[in-house]
Amino acid sequence: MALPKDYIDQKCSLSRSLEVLGERWTLLILRDAFYGVRRFSDFVEHLGIARSVLAVRLDALVEHGVLTKTSPDDGGYAEYELTDKGRELWPVIYGLIFWGDEHYAKAGPPRLFEHAEDGGRVLPDGLCSTCGQRVPLSEIQATPGPGLVKPDHEVDRVTEALSEPRPLLEAIRR
């Protein structure tokens, strides 16, 4: 018997949030969207997710206004981009990344999040460790950290792009 997708007897905002974000793969899809992944094929290749599962997750995120799906004018491929509502999830995503780094990254964080202006580390509360200012999402740069393992084989385009410092939300293009 399949588990229900809602928490009908739970009357709290956390249960409503889980109805949108609690499915397997959803948080990783959102993480990749913050990293700049926009195309369906790039999500598939980077995450190793089944196309059918990804399609369902992306449709749900679009339906709930977390992502928007754009249709290109030139007949190219559709892209997915975080909406303002989706961008509001950065503190949640980053909090989980930071928590995982603290408790499970034995060789150190695979990726650091830095204030592009001064190189200070962005703390879980969104403040820069160098200047003490709240860092807007548009000024956060993902940088390879000490725990990043560089594969000895050919990698997908997203992994390759993330092996160099890059601003969050900047689209990974072909």
Identify any residues that bridge with 167 across adjacent strands, giving them in sequence order. Answer: 141
pLDDT tens, position by position, 67-104: 999 987 777 789 999 999 999 999 999 999 999 999 99
Q: Which residue has the tokens 């990043």?
A: 148
pLDDT tens, position by position, 6-57: 777 778 898 888 889 999 999 999 999 999 999 999 999 999 999 999 999 9
Which domains are delineated in the chain? 14-86 (1.10.10.10), 89-167 (no CATH)
Q: What is the pTM of this model?
A: 0.91
pLDDT tens, position by position, 124-143: 999 999 999 999 999 999 99
Structure tokens at 117: 């202006």
Nearest to 90 by CA among 162, 37, 22, 169: 169
